[in-house]
Amino acid sequence: MNDSLHPPTICRVGGDHMPDPRNALPKAIEEIIASLDDDDCFAHIGDEPIHFSISVRDMIEKFREVLFPGYFSREKVDCANLIYHMGQSISQLYDILSEQIVHVLRHDCHRYDLQCTECEPRGHDAALTMIKAIPDLRRELAGDVNGAYAGDPAAKSHDEVIFSYPGLYATMVYRIANRLYRLQIPQLPRIMSEQAHSLTGIDIHPGATIGRRFVIDHGTGIVIGETSEIGDNVRIYQNVTIGALSLPPDAGEKLRGAKRHPTIEDDVIIYSGATILGGDTVIGTRSVVGGNVWLTSSIPPDTKVFMESPRLVYKHPPSHKEYRNEETA
């Protein structure tokens, strides 16, 4: 059928006769503004806005450029421009970071009527502390890269791990955010962690304690809670939860800061789908936690915990005689 013989239907109602939904907007706006007086809801009126001159993701990328020189730079880095390039990148990172930190400090100071702690000098000092930590961060991340490469036959090179492994990206952001968290910088560490979470599906609270050569294989769906303690040479797979037990409704105030998440000792492997819960739960050194295992109590060192093999049921259509004969034999 020739579509040209059937032109699209044209609305016969003229524009002048159509109701304008915008006429209802003033009343809707009035009702929304009135709802701001509801103390059970949340608004951020009259306080310093939380906005950033550069996005948190861009700040993370600048960190990554400095932590892995030459990997994520827009231009070639060689012996001729190394000092200039690194000097410029580190200087830019310091400016970005100090501004972000000062901003969140000032926001919380005004928002919660805190006693003034000289936000600007404190922010610049914290930024300088982070810059000075970069050599240690580079060594920690080198251990994470080596751990991922050594334990994954699919990794063809260290470069592949650095460029493409979401687990390394999430671990890198955690290691930066954790240092900011320990410096008691508000807001920013959690915002950074959630940025990594949104990109990788890996949710690591910046307050967690994680040792060296930490490896996340695949990674999507991983949750690591605030008070988790993870030792050295630990490897975890996708959909692993290291979390808290079910908490009462008023737990926010009662348990804030308390140990609620498990301790994972050195050289532990946790396979996909495992759930480990509770602040008193300790997974002993060199243990292996199998896929889909649910643990709320401790296990000693050198323990392997696996689910029993499930009973599989096969159903075949009548045409599959060979299967039918096996089932009735």
In-domain check, residue 114: yes
On whether residue 132 sits in a domain, the answer given is: yes
234 lies in the same domain as 281: yes
Distance CA 267, CA 280 (A): 19
* Cα 62 to Cα 223: distance, rounded to the nearest angstrom: 26
146 domain-assigned: yes
Asked if residue 172 and residue 67 are part of one domain, the reply reads: yes
Residue 111 lies in a domain: yes
* Beta strand ranges found along 161-281 (DSSP E): 203-204, 209-210, 215-216, 223-224, 229-230, 235-236, 241-243, 263-264, 269-270, 275-277
* Confidence at residue 259, expressed as pLDDT on a 0 to 100 scale: 94
Give domain status of residue 45, yes or no.
no
**Which residue range(s) make up the domain with 86?**
51-202
**269, part of any domain:** yes
One domain, residues 176 and 76: yes
Q: Which of 133, 168, 202 marks a domain boundary?
A: 202
| Whether 189 and 306 share a structural domain | no
- Is residue 77 in some structural domain? yes
Residues 214, 198 share a domain: no
- Examine the domain organization and report whether 167 and 240 are in the same domain: no
Nearest to 316 by CA among 302, 308, 327: 327
d(CA 150, CA 138): 18
Identify which of 288, 268, 291 has the alpha carbon closest to the alpha carbon of residue 215: 268
Query: Is 273 within a domain?
Result: yes
Instruction: Please state, in angstroms and rounded to a whole number, the distance separating the CA atoms of residues 178 and 188.
Output: 10
166 and 224 share one domain:
no
Last residue of a domain, one of 202, 218, 233: 202
pLDDT at res. 324: 46
* CATH classification at residue 215: 2.160.10.10
Which pLDDT belongs to residue 274? 98
Do 89 and 224 fall within a single domain?
A: no
pTM of the model: 0.81
Number of structural domains, the chain? 2
Q: pLDDT per position in the chain (329 positions), as tens?
A: 555 566 666 656 555 666 678 888 888 888 887 887 787 776 766 665 665 546 899 999 999 999 998 888 888 888 888 888 889 999 999 999 999 999 888 887 766 666 666 888 999 999 999 999 999 999 999 999 999 999 999 999 999 999 999 999 999 999 999 999 999 999 999 999 999 999 999 999 999 999 999 999 999 999 999 999 999 999 999 999 999 998 777 666 667 778 999 999 999 999 999 999 999 999 999 999 999 999 999 999 999 999 998 888 998 887 765 554 444 44
At what angle are helices 119-132 and 134-151 packed, to 10 degrees? 50
Q: Write the CATH number for 108.
A: 1.10.3130.10
- Note whether 99 and 215 are same-domain residues: no
Residues 198 and 242 in one domain: no
Residue pair 197/173 in contact (Cβ under 8 Å)? The answer is: no
In this structure, the answer to whether residues 117 and 238 fall within a common structural domain is: no
| Distances from the Cα of 11 to the Cα of 4, 6, 19, 191, 218, angstroms | 18, 15, 14, 49, 53
What residues form DSSP beta bridges with 243?
277
The answer to whether residues 101 and 189 belong to one domain is yes
